[in-house]
Structure 1
Amino acid sequence: MIILGVDPGTAITGYGLVSFHGNRFSTVEYNCIKTPAKMEPADRLLILYRELEKILLKYRPDRMAVEKLFFNTNARTALAVGQARGVVLLLGAMAGLRVYEYTPLEVKQAVVGYGRAEKEQVQYMVKAILCLPEIPRPDDVADALAVAICHAHYGNGVG
């Protein structure tokens, strides 16, 4: 099973494709989609749409897992992330994928074993679980891989 994990954002959307078979993980691809800060919001969402569509067409994942939006004190940031999440969810549905959503707490619990783990602990465990030479950067990429690992643990064989 190939799982596409996504950490949505307008400036940076992290993604990670993880192969999971018989409790064994391997990475397929991971990176991020960046958009210029001075670009109009609609144009940034269009870049996200086009780049993520290419990834879906190239790798044809079996599942998509997306980090849920948690409450943010900055309403503008929350709105922008919500718009990016909408693009991601739409693309998943258009690709015929069942899209699973996980809270940051669920991701930390699945990857580290503790729902209140620090970001650094999650990053270290992503590196260890996937046998990567270094922690993926930027943080959004490690977060996307963590979401994919979370789905493998919680959603294994689901749907």
Structure 2
Amino acid sequence: MTDTVRILGIDPGLRRTGWGVVSVTGTRLAYVGCGLVTSESGDDLATRLRCLHDGLMRVVEAMRPDEAAVEETFVNKDGQSTLKLGQARGVALLVPALCGLPVAEYAANLVKKTVVGSGHAEKAQIGAMVRFLLPKADPESADAADALAVAITHANHRAARARVAAHAAPSGRGAARIARAMARA
């Protein structure tokens, strides 16, 4: 009998952080839930980050995931926006880590390639494929659909990550080469 693993995917954002939870039994994916954690744009940064923290804590407590995956930050032309997004991403990484969950990170292009087949897919394509792969899912926002895509990506890559971690040397060029290859996959 294969164990079931619940995966929390997070698409970080300062205004809207999407979250999605899937369960994986062997190669079978099942939709568990998805939604948004929001903050008010008029509030100061510390208050907004606290809102994201508290909201994600409630998600982890309610959904009880076993693992988490967070989308990596892309760099905007506006440095201030990139910095704020990075701070929201820090909260997205911190909350599951504080709850004792292993946390994986995935580049946006890898998420798109895994779910849609193209690293440059549009949001609508991601949403359509998430609905195809998880027929019971009906995310109400692109952020929630993106978070489910992050969870699906982790479900597809977690076994390979575990094999690499088990066989890679703790340091050295070999481990770095394997890690770079995994990031490009």
Look up the match of 1:109: 113
The counterpart of 1:70, out of the listed 69, 74, 84, is 74
Does the 8 Å CA contact 2:8/2:67 hold for their aligned counterparts?
Answer: yes
Which protein has the bigger helix share? 2
Structure-2 change in CA distance of 1:126 and 1:75 (3 Å): same
Does the 8 Å CA contact 2:11/2:19 hold for their aligned counterparts?
Answer: yes
1:125 aligns with 2:116: no
Identity of aligned residues (%): 42
Q: Which runs of 5+ in 2 are unaligned?
A: 163-185
> 2:137 & 2:66 partners in 1: Cα distance?
26
Look up the match of 2:104: 100
* Deviations, residues 19-67 of structure 1 (Å, cap 9, x unaligned): 1112211111100011111011100111111111111122221110000
SS at match of 1:36: coil
Question: Where do residues 10-25 of structure 1 align in structure 2 (5 Å cutoff)?
Answer: 10-25=14-29
> 1:46 & 1:138 partners in 2: Cα distance?
22
Q: Which runs of 5+ in 1 are unaligned?
A: none
Structure-2 change in CA distance of 1:42 and 1:30 (3 Å): same
TM-score, L = length of structure 1: 0.93
4+ residue segments displaced more than 6 Å: none
Cα distance, 1:118 vs structure 2: 2.1
> 2:74 & 2:161 partners in 1: Cα distance?
24
Q: Choose between structure 1 and 2 for higher RCO, CA contacts under 8 A separated by at least 6 residues.
A: 1
Structure whose CA Rg is larger: 2
Look up the match of 2:155: 152
Cα distance, 1:115 vs structure 2: 1.5
Letter in 2 for 1:8: P
The counterpart of 1:36, out of the listed 25, 40, 55, is 40
Q: CA RMSD in A?
A: 1.4
Does the 8 Å CA contact 1:110/1:154 hold for their aligned counterparts?
Answer: no
The number of aligned residues is 158
